[in-house]
Structure 1
């Protein structure tokens, strides 16, 4: 398409996001209006005449601004330039109520994401979802309106990821693709930032939601990329347990074993978290051994479960109980399986984890009809509440 056919106000939010690239950040930091105008024209494919039409100037005046032969001194004109180019007002030296509100919104958003993540890890994922929905909607509306400053996009990416992961805790299995959808939307933004660590974080979260949605091959691919981009041992330790789970669910025994071996080596060096700790890794190893058809090893391992610590997220206690019950049923230990599953049902109801109730239903099967019935009844109640 020729220059003459380019729209004066491009609609693509991806183009507007160019203000968040490292190159744009360098230009904006100079507060040089001429450089900012040249960058805007380059991104949108505009010549000086077209940019002048957008700003209400003629070509000669745009040229003079770019060559620093003219300046824009009055506050009203600077504010209008910022609004037209979708720049935060302080870039051109305008500090007003709108800019102050913007800063307050960012601070509020950061706090909301942080508190929502704490709520989710504490077993209150539904509360996290309720807090994140309005924040994501507000940030997306701002970005769609062309206000795509770097800090807004970073906050939007994190909020989308947190929303997706929280939804992955509270949605039943048939709706888990919704959680993966939200984490995927954050990947659109990471391309702008060109930061390996940030990209690794988003890929890690998205890959795990893909696994839960049973898109196992895609999950392994995303999580492998996340591990490759991880900038340090702690970041890699955050990825590896999820990659091991995905590899196991895919039935890829060699990959599962390699990842678990590296995870074991990192236990002494990396910080323990709600996922990266001996208790969670024990469950991941159990499930992986079952998925890769090594039942005898899983049965022996189930007898030596490490005690949970304060680092273990509440939902992991439910996850572990279901997996241990599965192993015990395979070992013909119905009594032990019944005890584990009853505990899992009680905790899944308390924490509102429909996905784990569905796992209980599958694990109980035909062999433990009373446990299966209790889990199905609890799951139906939860679905009715969610539909109301």
Structure 2
């Protein structure tokens, strides 16, 4: 049985361990612990303060242990959650409540991020991740804890990817990687695919384009449903474009187009978002005339689009306007983008605006630079 990590007690997170813990049978639990750790009954007895005969009797069901103090000591020594042995423990009850409500915290943080409130998402997820990691450091590695921690780490990384400037985006990828490390050990294609696509996208934003394409290609390959595939394809198309891989970009976009009529549209997978991805990919793969021809054909959103997507699209369109020598249109578009990026606290998009305006629109670049410095000051404070 491959451990989930090098932590000595992560065996409690395996599927088999969950079945053992759910039995509530101390004898079964002790036998499982001995087998995983390669201990004989004498060695386990020494760990718990019992002789071999007593351990054997418990494992065979010939002796029962009802003393709460002894059960608490066994839980502490074996890093067992007290409720597994029927013990009422305030700290354990508080932890279980945290896990229950933690799932809601992750969901609400994702809603906040997609609605343009990534800073609030970070504020909600930091304390949850800290508490779960403290639980881990104490040796309590139940499956539900790890599952939630993986999702919380990923959510934190993605939210940070919205609020951090480009030079610090490696931090966002660091957190999504930590989430992926956990997800890979759960035999759940949906979970693993989710972790791969979130990490892949943060790698792209951090400039690690080849690694991003690799992770996102894995996410597409693992996708168990059309919906999961649709969630990964736009991100893979964007990464392929950033890698200047025209054939891969075209293939992925064609596949995404084929799914548009078969799956429900989301904040990422919809004609509006795919239009922006197509425009940027055409530029990045050296097909500027095609991007200029396409820019006027922006589709009407078919679903609620995340506010940051509006800023992303504005910057991309302004870039194409500059390539078409439409300085007036580019100026107006980028000024609107600066206002929205500032209101939504999106430093990465302000940096995109600065690069886009750098050579031909110095006044717009200066305005974006001032807005970025104000955001930096707020983050430093």
Q: Report the equivalent of 1:360.
A: 353
> What TM-score results when the alignment is normalised by the length of structure 2?
0.95
Asked if 1:336 corresponds to 2:325, the answer is no
Q: Report the equivalent of 1:263.
A: 256
Mapped partners of 1:17, 1:301: distance in 2: 52
Aligned residue among 30, 33, 39 for 2:32: 39
Map Cα deviations across residues 200-249 of structure 1 (whole Å, 9 max, x no partner). Answer: 11111111000000101111111111111112111111111001111111
Q: Secondary structure at the match of 1:57?
A: coil
CA contact (8 A) 1:299 1:327 kept: yes
Mapped partners of 2:274, 2:184: distance in 1: 31
Mapped partners of 1:65, 1:167: distance in 2: 50
Q: Report the equivalent of 2:129.
A: 136
Asked if 1:244 corresponds to 2:237, the answer is yes
Asked if 1:319 corresponds to 2:329, the answer is no
Mapped partners of 2:304, 2:77: distance in 1: 49
Aligned residue among 50, 63, 67 for 1:70: 63
Mapped partners of 1:362, 1:149: distance in 2: 47
Q: What are structure 1's unaligned runs of at least 5 residues?
A: 1-11
Mapped partners of 1:43, 1:332: distance in 2: 68
Q: Report the equivalent of 1:279.
A: 272
What's the offset of the Cα at 1:157?
0.8
Q: Report the equivalent of 2:120.
A: 127
Mapped partners of 2:103, 2:184: distance in 1: 21
What's the offset of the Cα at 1:310?
4.6
Mapped partners of 2:286, 2:85: distance in 1: 64
What's the offset of the Cα at 1:312?
0.6
CA contact (8 A) 2:48 2:77 kept: yes
CA contact (8 A) 1:13 1:143 kept: no
Q: What are structure 2's unaligned runs of at least 5 residues?
A: none
Asked if 1:218 corresponds to 2:214, the answer is no
Mapped partners of 2:48, 2:186: distance in 1: 28
Q: Secondary structure at the match of 1:192?
A: coil
* Structural RMSD (CA): 1.5
> What TM-score results when the alignment is normalised by the length of structure 1?
0.93
Mapped partners of 1:23, 1:302: distance in 2: 55
Map Cα deviations across residues 97-127 of structure 1 (whole Å, 9 max, x no partner). Answer: 3332122211231222122111111101111
CA contact (8 A) 1:113 1:132 kept: yes
Map Cα deviations across residues 327-374 of structure 1 (whole Å, 9 max, x no partner). Answer: 111111111111111111000000000000000001112201111110
Q: Secondary structure at the match of 1:193?
A: coil
1:71-86 aligned within 5 A: 71-86=64-79
Q: Secondary structure at the match of 1:268?
A: coil
Aligned residue among 200, 216, 229 for 2:193: 200
What's the offset of the Cα at 1:19?
1.1
Aligned residue among 105, 112, 132 for 1:112: 105
Mapped partners of 2:165, 2:35: distance in 1: 47
CA contact (8 A) 2:122 2:160 kept: yes
Map Cα deviations across residues 82-105 of structure 1 (whole Å, 9 max, x no partner). Answer: 222222222222234333212221
Greater displacement, 326-335 / 101-110: 101-110
The count of residues paired between Structure 1 and Structure 2 equals 377
Q: Secondary structure at the match of 1:258?
A: helix
Q: Secondary structure at the match of 2:171?
A: helix
CA contact (8 A) 2:153 2:178 kept: yes
